[in-house]
Amino acid sequence: MLLWSFVGLSRMEGYKSANRAVFILAEDGTIISSWIGEHLVMVPVHGLILRHI
């Protein structure tokens, strides 16, 4: 999976960041839910996460 990377964000030389992502795993390690933001400023809907934990 390739996520966008932002270089020079906020005009800070050498600053790097990536998109936000949330993965919820079952006890056996399988992914039961995931969320990946389309860009850096997106945040997950916390209610969707809380339903799984």
Provide the residue type at 43 as one letter: V
- Residue 15: the pLDDT is 66
Q: How far apart are CA 50 and CA 46, in angstroms?
A: 6
Low-confidence ranges of the chain (pLDDT < 70): 1-12, 14-17
* Residue whose tokens read 């809380």: 50
- Residue 47: the pLDDT is 86
pLDDT digits (tens, 9 = 90+) for 2-16: 445 555 556 667 666
- Residue 37: the pLDDT is 86
Q: How far apart are CA 36 and CA 53, in angstroms?
A: 18
- Residue 2: the pLDDT is 45
- Residue 12: the pLDDT is 66
Provide the residue type at 6 as one letter: F
H or E stretch at 48: helix 46-50
